[in-house]
Amino acid sequence: MARFWVCAAGAGLFLAFLVLHSRFCGSPVLRNFAFQISWRTEKILYRLDVGWPKYSEYFTGTTFCVAVDSLNGLVYIAQRGDNIPKVLVFTEDGYFLRSWNYTVDTPHGIFAASTLHEQSVWITDVGSDFMILWLHGENGTGPAKFNIPHSVTVDSAGRVWVADRGNKRIQVFDKDTGEWLGAWNNCFTEEGPSAVRFTPDGQYLIVAQLNLSRLSILAAPPVGSIGDCSVISTIQLADEVLPHLLEVDRKTGAIYVAEIGAKQVQKYAPLNSYVSSFGS
């Protein structure tokens, strides 16, 4: 028993020393110690890459959307504004390559699709005329009805996930038949999702909530089941950042977030322990 109290007293003195040393000497030891403890209370998968991009002055408008060409290591960003480049092209390392300001008026969404033989970038332009090629549902609150369908993605099982922002839910459909498979709404009581994407391993969905300035990492359901939404982790952004749309690099797992409030795009890199699971 005496040995126990001696050890306890020694541990107390050690912690007191760390507090005093951090307070008066500016030592990072205690901060690192506390950070490691906080990791055990929440599953943290990503960190902000503060070095991306290398120069943010290229963001001269309102950054509405972002797309990643993982095959060629390129990041495309579309922004709105007068007399500015509408599309910016960066490397995955954050170096600016080029921009253009033709054929695009008021971009809203962007998608990069490249093969070994060609590169292509698709942009939804709300300022130009367009033709509807495929339509499912109508305005409303019931199943397969929408109120501001804001983002869409497809998983490896052929399920289409739609961010039904105005109805505060994600709806799920069969890619081939259009059959309604279910919906998630228990994660979106405060605000609906504005963007949805899958991580490369298909284990998680990354969801943005615009007015909450929040990213949520949700557990993906198994094939054959939709179930209920389950939040694994969250990334709380600064107030009024307003994450509009996001994209996930299919090779590295990095998240690129187009923020219309901050008028910038930020990159979140997965932690090393999480990256290793992409290849498993």
**C-beta separation of 52 from 94 below 8 A:** yes
**C-beta separation of 70 from 251 below 8 A:** yes
* Tens-place pLDDT, residues 248-268: 999 999 999 999 999 999 999
* Tens-place pLDDT, residues 33-45: 332 323 334 577 8
pLDDT of residue 30: 35
Close Cβ partners of 200 (under 8 Å, ≥ 6 residues apart) = 248, 249, 250, 251, 253, 278
Fold of the 46-126+146-266 domain: Neuraminidase (2.120.10)
pTM (2 d.p.): 0.76
Mean pLDDT of the chain: 82
DSSP H or E segment with residue 75? strand 74-80
Could you give the C-alpha distances from 5 to 13, 23, 32, in angstroms and in order? 12, 27, 27
Could you give the C-alpha distances from 273 to 46, 163, 276, 278, in angstroms and in order? 10, 29, 6, 10
Amino acid in the structure at residue 176: D
**C-beta separation of 221 from 199 below 8 A:** no
pLDDT of residue 216: 96
**C-beta separation of 65 from 245 below 8 A:** yes
pLDDT of residue 21: 47
Residues in the chain: 280
pLDDT of residue 66: 96
Q: What are the residue ranges in the chain where pLDDT is below 50?
A: 6, 18-41, 130-134, 279-280
Helices and strands, number each (H, E), in the chain = 3, 20
pLDDT of residue 72: 92
